[in-house]
Amino acid sequence: MLRVEGLEVAYGDLQVVWGASFEVPGESIVTILGPNGAGKTTTLLALMGLLPVVAGSVTFNGVSLVGVPTHQIVERGLVLIPEERAAFATLTVEENLDLGAYTPRARHSREQKMSEVLELFPRLAERMRQRAGTLSGGERQMLAIGKALMARPEVLILDEPSLGLAPIIVEHTFEAIEKVRDRGVSVLLVEQHVEMALQIADHAYVLDMGSIVADGTSSELSADARVQDAYLSL
């Protein structure tokens, strides 16, 4: 579904990603792991057209995304939830969810997607009239995922969804990610919580200094002592 080959990304003269290749099949969870500064977030921004691709290819359902504006990438079904869990703080939960369905692709199914989101996150149903800026960290993460799902993604990209959350909320978040996959949406997950990421992922890649240095099924990487010691800190 999503295929990246030989991706190179730079900030001006400073190159950060060097020839990274990976893929996200349909109805799967794929995680990219690695130390801070490895280029994980930079890679995600390039996929979404928020940073220029220096070299390599990014194809989604067989069509190139290189040079495509971000709003058109979202319309095609690739949606990113950034690390900041961006929400419009002065708007209500319902208004934020509505904004997730702004694309022509999503507008006609707004009511159906709203029902699905509230079924996945019943807490949001209790907060519909509440301003997003008053939500707890866990509720903001629910809202971020819910708003992204309103756009009818085929691939949902999450950048550090566990950041700053209490352990019990992290567990609920990862359970929600599995439910998203089970409903037919593929997930590309960048995460520092290695053990939990490997528990739910079908396939994992390790990115270090801008290059993919290891990949395999979650069980393969979990059992590889060299990978654990060098990159995963398990």
Q: What is the pLDDT of residue 226?
A: 74
Q: What percent of the chain has pLDDT over 90?
A: 79
pLDDT band at 233 (very low <50, low <70, confident <90, very high): low
Q: In a 3-state reduction of DSSP, which class is residue 89?
A: coil
Q: Are 11 and 50 in contact (CB under 8 A)?
A: no
Q: Are 32 and 232 in contact (CB under 8 A)?
A: no
Q: What is the pLDDT of residue 21?
A: 98
Q: Give me the CATH topology for the region 2-85+148-232.
A: Rossmann fold (3.40.50)
pLDDT band at 117 (very low <50, low <70, confident <90, very high): very high
pLDDT digits 0-9 by tens, 131-146 = 999 999 999 999 999 9
d(CA 197, CA 219): 11
Whether the pLDDT of residue 193 is over 90: the answer is no
Whether the pLDDT of residue 84 is over 90: the answer is no
pLDDT band at 54 (very low <50, low <70, confident <90, very high): very high
Q: What is the mean pLDDT of residues 82-102?
A: 91
Read off the pTM: 0.93
Domain residue spans of the chain: 2-85+148-232
Q: What is the pLDDT of residue 227?
A: 77
Q: Are 175 and 183 in contact (CB under 8 A)?
A: no
Distance of CA 187 to the CA centre of its chain: 6
The structure tokens listed for 180 are 């998203």
Whether the pLDDT of residue 32 is over 90: the answer is yes
